Structure 1
């Protein structure tokens, strides 16, 4: 039932969500590569401004709709309409494979790693504003 256009759209959407998540956690790539004392190389990332970080994380994370059971706790059957089943199916197709946005705890723990090099810009701040 997967149409080629549907598969391509889901892959593009997931790729864009992963890119946004990576940008939030690691910052903007500057294109500067530094050589470490041990001979390794790291790319310098510039942290995002709070406004840019907010823009990437301000959206709601919707959960897929779940159909209620056909029989409730008292043994009474309830009617499950085709429209409800269709809504639940469409909701699962659209929301099930979304990339979760990072929590504040995840953001703080992931940005404290030593391999993330942040360089101070010419203006003396680390958020990229001059």
Structure 2
């Protein structure tokens, strides 16, 4: 069933989710990192630096910097492609999956509070 929101309600929901995420003290991701993380977990793999750069319309170094930070957080992992050593495959992690599950639950909770 589609959810019908006004622009104001949608922004209010995003505001509440953002506030709760910051208050929780969880991993603090940039919008770019969120977009990368959601793409990795919602779009079927494989995911490469080159592919993510093309999808987001940015350069490979931009993706690499984001992945470096996200790797330090443990929410993604990178491995060399055994078939083509020039490619780096981006892998999902349990920490990343749990982060997104919790984030999804937060969105649901805040969405239920919309008036």
Instruction: Place the TM-score, normalised by the shorter chain, in its bin.
Output: under 0.3
Larger radius of gyration: 1
TM-score (norm. length: structure 2):
0.28
Whichever structure has more helix as a proportion of its residues is 2
